Every structure is written in C-alpha cells, then in structure tokens.
C-alpha cells in the first residue's frame, strides 16, 4: 500500500472524504521506519510532524528536572501521534516519543494541515478529528489519575488498554498509572490471589 492509499484508507476509517484539498498535505508525507528504543521526537526540539503509525508501539513521556521519566501515553498501529500543541503554539515539544518496538509510520508536516484547516472544509474536519481524539484520550486518563486509587487505575488499564499489559515492561506500566514498580508488583499479586479465591477467601472453583 503506497502513501496515498494508506492515507485515503485512514480517512475512510474516520468517515472523512478524500478531497483534492489534501494534496498539499499529502506532498509532505514520508514513509519512515524505526528500531526499538529509537527516539522519534526529543523534548525541547521543535518538530512539526505527525506520525500515522502502521506497526510497532511508541511511548510519549515527560522528563522531570531530576531526570526521571513519566509516561504520558502509548500508541500503536492505527494511531496518530506527535507534538500537536507544540506545533500549534510554535514552541518546543514538551515530551519525547520513543519506540518500544520496531515499527513503521507515515509522517506528515502538521503545520501544512493547520494552515489549510482554516480554508478547506475536509482539512478542517480532519483537524477537528485529530484534536478530538487527543482531547478525549487525555481527559479519560486525567480522570483515572485524579479520581482512582492504585488498584482502580490498574483495573482501568485492564479494561481500556489491556494490550499494553502484554507488550510494555512493568516499570513503564507503573509510571503510566502513577505508582512505583514495587507497588505495582504487590498490587498484581493481590489481584491474582483474589482472582483465585472465592468471595470468602476460599479457593475458587
């Protein structure tokens, strides 16, 4: 599948019609591949590209002043990611993006879409779709972090993003749900023990 076919397929999957308005943005698209641990975006840089992920898994993370990393999100095949807020405000990327698995993506210059979104209806529809996805995802995770205890956060992950439990190292999972790795290990043992016990603590059948 070439870049045009890939992009048209992605638009169709999001109920957005192909239009000649997209040609300028299509012209900025490039195929790229990445290896495990490769950095796609480094915090502090001013990249302006979005990534339509075809395969693989990446993580978005912040780095504290003390050098500690805090995971923001994970994205896989079919997702779109990039430093959108930085591109919109012409500021440095506040987070980094790193590959956790080898993969490939189609990258595109976000600023071109931003420019055309004010004058072209389909470009505007795509722009709103991308912002809506990011807003909903961020709001859901924010609610989880602010209103749930550690056990509830882990259960949220099991219910909403269970694939991460099979593909992401435990220390990254711990950072993502706001606990330390030791606490996560204890929590998993507790939940595992409860799943093998009946309501009264007796072994289940």
pLDDT at 47: 84
Rounded Cα–Cα distance for residues 179 and 42 (Å): 24
pLDDT tens, residue by residue, 111-130: 999 888 888 888 899 999 99
DSSP string over 166-179: HHS-HHHHHHHTT-
Q: Which residues of the chain have pLDDT under 70?
A: 197-205
Class of domain 3-143: mainly beta
Break the chain into its structural domains and give their ranges: 3-143, 148-197
pLDDT at 198: 56
Rounded Cα–Cα distance for residues 73 and 95 (Å): 10
pLDDT at 199: 53
pLDDT at 205: 43
pTM: 0.88
Rounded Cα–Cα distance for residues 11 and 133 (Å): 14
Contact predicate 46/83, CB 8 Å: no
Contact predicate 177/157, CB 8 Å: yes
């Amino acid at each position: 599948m070439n870049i045009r076919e890939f992009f048209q397929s992605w638009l169709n999957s999001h109920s957005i019609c192909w239009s000649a308005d997209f040609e300028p943005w299509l012209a900025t698209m490039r195929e790229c591949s990445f290896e495990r641990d490769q950095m796609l975006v480094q915090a502090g840089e001013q990249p302006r590209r979005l990534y339509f992920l075809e395969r693989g898994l990446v993580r978005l993370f912040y780095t504290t002043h003390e050098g500690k990393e805090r995971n923001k999100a994970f994205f896989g095949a079919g997702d779109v990611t990039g430093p959108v807020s930085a591109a919109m405000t012409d500021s440095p990327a506040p987070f980094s993006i790193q590959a956790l698995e080898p993969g490939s993506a189609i990258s595109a210059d976000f600023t071109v879409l931003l420019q055309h979104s004010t004058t072209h209806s389909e470009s505007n529809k795509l722009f709103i779709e991308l912002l809506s996805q990011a807003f909903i995802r961020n709001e859901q995770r924010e609610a989880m972090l602010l209103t749930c205890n550690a056990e509830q956060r882990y259960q949220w992950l099991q219910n909403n993003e269970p694939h991460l439990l099979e593909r992401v190292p435990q220390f990254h999972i711990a950072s993502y749900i706001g606990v330390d790795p030791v606490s996560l290990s204890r929590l998993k043992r507790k939940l595992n023990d409860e799943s093998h016990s009946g309501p009264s603590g007796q072994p289940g059948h």
